[in-house]
Chain A
Amino acid sequence: MSEMIPALDWQAIFVAPWTTDFSIYGWIFLMGFLVCAACGLAGNYLILRRMALVGDAISHSVLPGLAIAFLAANAWTNRQASGEGIDLAVEPSGHGISYGFAIFMGALIAGVLTTLMIEIIHTRTRIKQDAAIGITFSTLFAFGVVLISVYADKVDLDADCVLHGEIAFVSIQPFFTIGAYQLAPSPVIRMGCVTFLTLGLMVVFYKELLVSSFDPGLASSMGINATFVHYALMCWLSVIVVSAFEAVGAILVIAMLILPGATASMLTTRFPIVLVLSLLHAAASSVLGLHLAIWLNSSTAGCMVVAGAGIFCVAWVFSPSQGILQNWLKRRRNSKRLTGGEIGTETVGES
């Protein structure tokens, strides 16, 4: 048993990441937080709109987008002539800005296409949204797999690698430099921009997003085009998903679209507080996940998700409105009151 669980070395697990090894773990934590925060914020709207699985769908169906963009970029620069394979998943930014950009655009277009296809299937037919999601992403994913296997000699793109990028490598990525000053690893910079833009857009368009999620009819009576808001949200979701999982893999992205919002909704029924709590959840699961990963010497992204799920469970137990503990207390209190002979005499309505 003792070999199965590594020793809990306080110094190595909890202190070193923030002191001696900060130059490595600091970036990993920051990257984890940025991804979780962007996903969590956007995910709140997915949960509200009952589209929690759309993020899942996007992250699968970008595969053909990646493959096509990869082929196109390859043909464009004609690197194939020199026989040089390119391992996208491990070293995406190692081949200059044009490659990175082409691949980002490919994935983004695929993401937007996914949401369009889902929308078209479920508005033009009797097929419900969940089934439409199932059809769309499995088809696109399969298409991507076919593409990759057909062009296996030209595309050195491992489907598994794309979906499971590793956040732990963040600190060894090339740094973004201003003059001679090394600012931060470029994936962190990129994700930072995406996260801050997400936050900014959500603050600026708070009203529009809220009302068009709750009641599209009311929204359009205010001159807010609810359909436009929907597609804008989906496009932005694609941006977040694509930029996040290039660096951290799909596991963290998919889980963190839902976990922060779900946890927050356990604890409050006010939407602004939901948003703040989902940010807190993002921070907490990144920290806890990081320590867990160091302790277990395991996948960082995986541990962050496990930590996030752990926080969700804690919130479930202690939730003031729907918590396990609260329910138990309430039932005990009520049964006491009834056996004590207190029978409700209140009535409703104005007298």
Chain B
Amino acid sequence: MLLSGLEQLNNMLHPSFMVQEKDKIPRIETTPPPANLWTKGLAVEDIPLEIHDLTVAYHHKPVLYGIDLAVPPGKLIGIIGPNGAGKSTLIKAIMGLLPTDSGWVKIFGKNNRKNLKRVGYVPQRESVDWDFPVSVMDVVLMGRYGKLGLFKRPGKEDRDIASACLEKVKMMPYADRQIANLSGGQQQRVFLARALAQESDLYFMDEPFAGVDAATESSIIGLLHELRQKGKTILVVHHDLPTARNYFDMLVLLNMRLVDFGPTEEVFTYEKLQKTYGGRLTILSEVAEAVRQNKG
């Protein structure tokens, strides 16, 4: 019941639908909390991610407006919002993959482009060519490249780390497979192993659970909790609202602007989600149900 409702939600928020709606609906009025609310008292170099007035446009119209955000360390954070809200764009902009129109991004107190070595990245699965002639092991080893200098090849230590990461996502039996011969969920796990091999302090994951079965999803969540225990900060784009409430310590609500950012209990409210999803949430009593559970 819950699932079918969410499927409906997904259908409702299909991009083509969004485009028409967005032009009619007045811009969402948001009053997000002051950016430094959750990072007060921290030294700049301890703040994993700080964004000030970030605006990004692909052609003329911005898809992200004036985002202000400061993320505290050691948290597992969900980024939620409808299709086309700019979630992937936000991550790409932070990763320096897109030119920005205004604002800045700092990673551990330094300009984002200068400090990307401390960042691990799991892109949306469709963003790479899976026919590429490399094995699962090769892909995970790529995660180690950042730690190696120019000219250096991954050594035994790197292989050991890569194997351990594959083991963690239960993909070790597939280490020598060509990546084309994997199922979608297995490909996702390979990406995750690669991110683990990066041994970063800050992670961005774009829909790591897309096409992953329930058992794998919960084992991945276990892994993410483990990472958080080690003090890492993880930002995850996630589409499933009911599970979002259980998985994440904090939530970023995004719809072209930052709607809100805060601890899940405070942010996961009917009113705020409605703001994020532009009013269409009312139809979905299932989500209302989830919100009620959140309060109780």
Contacts and interface: CB of A to CB of B under 8 A. Distances in A.
A complexed with B: yes
B128 interface: yes
B123 A269 contact: no
Interface stretch (B11-19, B72-80, B134-142, B229-237): B134-142
A18 interface: no
B121 interface: yes
B148 A207 contact: yes
Contacts of B145: 207, 211, 222
A215 interface: yes
Nearest to A126: B59
A350 B198 CA distance: 26
Nearest to B59: A124
Interface string B107-134: 0000000001101110100011100111
Size category of the binding interface on chain B: 20 to 34
Contacts of B134: 210, 214, 269-271
Interface in A187-220: 204, 206-208, 210-211, 213-218, 220
Interface in B248-272: none
Interface in B155-188: 170, 178, 180
A349 B180 CA distance: 19
B123 A215 contact: yes
Contact of A221 (B121, B133, B150): B121
B95 interface: yes
A256 interface: no
A217 B133 contact: no
A50 B139 CA distance: 19
Contacts of A210: 134, 142
Contacts of B32: none
Given A204-B151, A222-B145, A217 B116 contact: no
A269 B178 contact: yes
B81 to A, nearest CB: 20
Contacts of B143: 218
A217 B129 contact: no
A207 B138 CA distance: 11
B97 A217 contact: yes
Contacts of B225: none
B116 A270 contact: no
A268 interface: yes
Interface in A220-236: 220-223
Interface string A232-271: 0000000000000000000000000000000001001111
Contact of B127 (A217, A220, A221, A265): A217
Contact of A220 (B96, B120, B128, B150): B96
Given A211-B142, A268-B133, A349-B215, A221 B128 contact: no
B84 interface: no
A221 B116 contact: yes
B120 A215 contact: no
A215 to B, nearest CB: 5
A269 B133 contact: yes
A269 B128 CA distance: 16
Q: Which 9 A-B pairs have the closest CB atoms?
A: A222-B146, A269-B178, A221-B116, A221-B121, A217-B123, A269-B133, A271-B133, A215-B128, A207-B145
10 contacts: A206-B153, A207-B148, A210-B134, A214-B139, A215-B127, A217-B123, A221-B95, A221-B120, A221-B121, A223-B117
